[in-house]
Amino acid sequence: MWPDEVYWLSGADGEPMRVFLSYSQADAGVAKKLVAQLSEWGIQVWDPGEEVLPGANWALKIGQALQQSRAMIVLLSPNSTKSEQSHMPVG
């Protein structure tokens, strides 16, 4: 897919790229594969399926993760367009 070197994905401070991943729970299998590939390249992925524990303040955790991320990946699919959350504003 991408070249072996993805050094351009780190920031000027040399810290690894951190991305926020948004996807429909129905697409969790595809999301897991994407997380695995990005992690292999040294990209830190914030995955709500792994990071938000039951009983946690979901909105607070999402907001914090978005602030700490340098990019956002939205996995668009027929499943995601049916989700009410995908129609909510970000920010």
The pLDDT tens digits for 18-43 are 999 999 889 999 999 999 999 988 89
CA-to-CA distance for 31 and 21, rounded, in angstroms? 8
Residue with tokens 């914090």: 64
SS3 at position 73: strand
Lookup: tokens for 6: 């993805």
Of 87 and 51, which is predicted with more confidence? 51
The pLDDT tens digits for 35-83 are 999 998 889 999 988 888 889 898 899 899 999 999 999 988 887 777 6
Q: What is the mean pLDDT of residues 80-89?
A: 60
Q: Is pLDDT of 91 > 70? A: no
Domains in the chain: boundaries? 25-80
